[in-house]
Amino acid sequence: MYEVSVNIFEGIIKGLHYRSFSWPLLATLLIVGWSSGFVGIRYANEEASVMLLLFWRTLLAGLILLPFALAFGPRMSLAAVRDQALLGFMAVFLYLGGFALAIEQKVPTGLVALIADLLPLAVAALSQPVLGERLTTRQWQGTAIAVSGVLIVSFDSLGIGTAPAWAYVLTVGSMLIFALASVLHRRSSTSRMPVHQSLCVQMLTGAVLFGLCAGMQGSLVPPLTQKFALAMAWLVLIATFLAYAVYYTSLRLFPAAKVSAAIYLSPPVTMLWAWMLFSEPLTLMMLSGLVITLVGVWMTSRP
């Protein structure tokens, strides 16, 4: 009962759990939130380094949630905070920071995005041995179709680049770490902590670590520009609060492979963001990949 009172978002979703539109609603919110991270980073990257952006993104998100985490919900035990800090280290610092470092090392952005968006495949592979959640033959077929669609969407931007070998390994490792964090979150007893508390701990953990990295590169003072402020608002409210809150809430209600499958639609939707906001080209091949990905996600997510 207390979860409904202290966590309105999660309570509403749980109330909708047995209605037919609950998963489509969650999936839509997840796709919008997940793909929107590209917009904020792209918009503000000329104003500050990626590490400085990630520091202020996680710090602001954590500080906004902190008074709610302390005032509402059960008292956070040391074990629960420790577990959520570990998840923050994996799902925030290593995941986001790993890809940012790979891009700084000149791994092509298209290749980084493709590897990041193969996350659902890794979650599906880990779900059976870790959670005992087996995918049906139809779901594996849908996964294969969705991956094909992602490859088609990403085809024009793919390249090998000239980055050091460890940077390519880092991209794959970052994706696998987030996949492992996802299945561990679903299995952990402390994952029952209300989302606003767990997300607060994870964001503040990321802020400390990103702050150390950004501090080694220079000052932690943010650019005092309207562009940077708008980007931070976008990254905190949509790419962090919406994306992570919906993702973690969905993991409590649905199989991990089903939830992560929605992320296959992130590259096509990011492509639409780029077309609308930055006038990047939208080709027939990209639209074909979007349709194919939709079919694959539908097959994977069907009950």
Distance CA 221, CA 219 (A): 5
State yes or no: pLDDT of 16 exceeds 60.
no
- Report pLDDT for 83: 87
Amino acid at 112: V
Q: Percent of the chain beyond pLDDT 90?
A: 14
Q: What are the boundaries of each domain within the chain? A: 2-301
- Report pLDDT for 68: 92
Integer distance in angstroms from the first to the last C-alpha of the chain? 28
- Report pLDDT for 28: 85
Binning pLDDT at 50, 70 and 90, where does residue 2 land? Answer: very low
Binning pLDDT at 50, 70 and 90, where does residue 17 land? Answer: very low
Give me 184's structure tokens: 């561990």
Binning pLDDT at 50, 70 and 90, where does residue 18 land? Answer: very low
State yes or no: pLDDT of 29 exceeds 70.
yes
Helices (H), the chain: 2-6, 8-15, 22-44, 50-71, 78-88, 95-104, 109-116, 119-126, 137-154, 165-187, 195-217, 226-234, 243-253, 256-261, 266-278, 284-301
- Report pLDDT for 278: 66
Q: Which of 68-82, 97-111, 260-274 has the highest mean pLDDT?
A: 68-82
Residue recorded with tokens 């602001």: 60
Q: Which of 31-45, 52-66, 131-145, 183-197 has the highest mean pLDDT?
A: 52-66
Q: Which residues contact 257 (CB under 8 A, 6 or more apart)?
A: 120, 123, 124, 127, 133, 135, 139, 300
